[in-house]
Structure 1
């Protein structure tokens, strides 16, 4: 069934921003398209449901063979992030990892989310504005201290998600390590490329597999590799926890 159109009150929309990460090589073969919408108003229940149904219709499912990009859409109410404070709060979030919940009728709710700090920092640095005010004008800067807090607070939940999502967990940990060491944010594959030479050879091979699969250069099958993946995850986790960054 074709979903209903979403009624957009454009006077309530401050900006529609696409994160492009041009400095980090742009979209990879398995990259989602990250869209940030800044509003000056909250979303009604009907708008949430209609927006979710519309996004489920146009966003590519994980693993689809039709080259349809996944969409990751975050809506923030300007009053929830200005003035800047940590943790930030989003009004609505859509991502394909949540599709099963949406198919059951659940809809995104407003939530405080430390990870949003990294998204907003990326938007200020590398984005294209499709509508309204540029990201650097509507978003306040995010301090490296808050980026560090994001990594620290996200680490336990990330590791819990390792089952069934090994590649993403490994690459995200590499990104955390890169940011913890350099105070910069980079793409998943470039963070992995930076981390690989610093790992023991047997760990480096696993991270390199994840990197190449992310780039579409290899097919990764993680079944039967649970022990190796867990060992690598534990190694990188300990580096983060033992570094002065977390002291």
Structure 2
């Protein structure tokens, strides 16, 4: 089956579940790139609900093919920093990293981003992992019965990601000024993720820049808190042996290079 037909069949499956989007979907040209954009949009919009294996099998096949086409980056092979070989800095797409767990910075609903094709890390991770990730998050949050507070962490499978697991954390939303509570909550995000990773015997974790995007935490302050919290944790006896600071913007890369 060619790529276009494969994608269009997945789109039709989702449109049968969500017929209210048929009119908008009909406006997408029948090209691979546009139909793929439609598929990502529909996946972003779909609420957590039971998943049909008839959809999951071709979805997983498509996502695994795309994963290999993007190229998997082995986190264990990244060079360590001069001062500490347990720490590494890598600039790129976090969904390419092969590690025990990557960190997703979400909101308090912890269900992923529902804005079609939004550029946030939450959207990127859920889109690459597949609909199983939102379904598992939905079951966790239903059992919890209340929104996820800032500074804590949850663990799920990685599904179609190279990473085995995803650590989900909610960072603080910063107003006009960064408060002491904001700083404490951000440090707690890093500690909570590492503690949960250690609890499950994970050895490598890759962090995104928690709270620096939509939540407006100042980049330099956030990096200093992140590096400090991680270094302090690595001084404890823990199975976590490698922490990667994953950055996307040049600004963050420059800041972390200075700190590390």
TM-score (norm 1): 0.29
Give the alignment's TM-score, normalised by structure 2. Answer: 0.28
With CA pairs under 8 Å and 6+ residues apart, which has the higher RCO, 1 or 2?
2
